[in-house]
Amino acid sequence: MKFSSKFSSVILWSVISAAFIGPGTVTTAVTAGSQFQILLLWAVVFATVACVVLQEVSARIIIASGFNFGQALETKFGSKIGFWIKWIVAGPVLLGCAAYEAGNILGAVSGSSILFEGNGRIYTIIITVLTGYILWYGGSKWISTIMTMLVGLMGVAFLLLAVKGDFTFTELIKSSVIPTIPEGSEWLTLGLVGTTIVPYNIFIGSAISKGHTIPLMRIGLTISVLIGGLITAWIMLAGTMVGNFSSFGELASLFQNKMGVIGSLALGLGLFAAGFSSAITSPYAASLIASTVFGAEKKSVVRFVWMSVLFTGFTFGISGIKPIPVILAVQALNGLILPLLTYFLILIVNDSKVVATQHRHAAWYDLVLLAILGTTLMIGFNNVDKSITSAFALTSGNHFKIIRIITTAIVLATAVQLIRLRKIQKI
């Protein structure tokens, strides 16, 4: 396998790491570091490994079968049921791309405002136009190359912040491999996993993997996602130096107090790269869903989809209106999409009608997938719970215990279903 092929694969898959490190990741990781220091570093490690596993399974299905994601669903579940599954899992993700695009654009604007004083609305227009230009004229290779540069920019910026943290190498290793959940950190722990494994990345990965080999896919995917995991860890390490914050501007001031001007500049660069990359990948993901899940073949239709997502984000960003009810509803829907996707991926990859025996994984791999299913279920139920409690001003109470009981029951039921499927295929 040539080095040039490996390098090209890493660049191609860098879109995944660029996609999951957005303004939300920066906020979550910095908050985790500021409140619990490096105690939740293991959650970043777990999330990174889980991201690699789920993306690998999704890509393996497409490469081994030659289908796109929509065709794989229909082959496994039939055309009628597969049709509804496509709308159930992909429809809310499309809505989510549009609902969160404003946050992506404003994240890039916040980074720009930290670097250069100026009118936020002007920055919003500039970033939206640049995003539209890249999506209109750029193919998948060009977009991947831009994502690689943005990931590199994020890496350098947040590493500059991370190295100033007060911790030893031994402490880092210990916190990375020993799970601890301090009191009050349950939701934040799940948030770290949820901000790394995002539903639309599954669709991006399945779309860009077609036509590649499984070994080459694994190299590019693993390296790019591991780099993304490292950057997330660096963001958390940077967060150990600051206290509570209510805005990115305040966070920049805290870093400047700790490190001088370089602290605020590094945050500005990293935040701009995180926001701008997510502003590109969110509409890009929507266009890939339209083509690979819903079978849109006309270029005009695909462009209409990503333009709608971008325009929605721009409209809310430029107006300053926060579509809270819409976002809460989309959060509730997307809360269950990731575990649903994980569940369907488990069933599809274990079905010989889709993935031939020579491309099947070992039985232990299913145990890893079931563990990821359990984690994503808790994340999903947590997101739904937060959406409902926020919308109706309710108290969370003892919801986490209830969520764990329901999650355990669903994982056990899935394990039984998987055992039966494997037995049937051996007969």
Are 354 and 61 contacting, i.e. CB atoms less than 8 angstroms apart? yes
- Residues 6 or more apart whose Cβ sits within 8 Å of residue 82: 70, 73, 74, 75, 76
Cβ(105)–Cβ(125) below 8 Å: no
Q: Which domains does the chain have, with CATH numbers?
A: 3-67+82-322 (1.20.1740.10)
What integer pLDDT is reported at residue 279 of this predicted model?
92
The residues near 291 (Cβ < 8 Å, ≥ 6 apart) are: 68, 207, 297, 302
The residue assigned the tokens 């083509």 is: 291
Tokens of 264: 């605020």
pLDDT tier for residue 134 given thresholds of 50, 70 and 90: very high
SS3 211: coil
**Tens-digit pLDDT profile for residues 209-254:** 877 888 889 999 999 999 999 999 999 999 998 888 778 888 888 8
- Which amino acid, one-letter code, is at 412? L
- Give 167's Cβ-side CA count (13 Å radius): 24
Within a 10 A sphere around the Cβ of 142, how many other Cβ atoms?
Answer: 11
pLDDT in tens, 282-297: 999 999 999 988 888 8
Whether 182 contacts 36, CB under 8 Å: yes
Contact (CB, 8 A) for 193 and 50: yes
| R_g of the chain, CA atoms, integer Å | 21
Cβ atoms < 10 Å from Cβ of 412: 12
pLDDT for position 393: 66
What sections of 210-260 are H helices per DSSP?
A: 214-239, 248-259
Residue 402 confidence (pLDDT) above 90? no
Percentage of residues in the chain having pLDDT higher than 70: 93
Mean pLDDT of the chain, nearest integer: 85
Sign of CA dihedral 413, 415, 417, 423: negative
H or E stretch at 118: none
pLDDT value of position 394 = 64
Question: Pick from 45, 9, 60: which is nearest to 228 by CA?
Answer: 45
User: Comparing 96-110, 211-225, 228-242, 267-281, which segment has the lowest mean pLDDT?
Assistant: 96-110
Q: Please say if the pLDDT value at position 164 is more than 90.
A: no
**pLDDT in the model for residue 326:** 56
Q: Is the pLDDT of residue 42 over 90?
A: yes
Which candidate, 102, 99, 162, places its Cα nearest to that of 131?
102
Cα 192 from chain centroid (whole Å): 10
pLDDT above 60 (res 68): yes
Quick one: 199 exposed, middle or buried, by C-beta within 10 A (0-12, 13-18, 19+)? buried
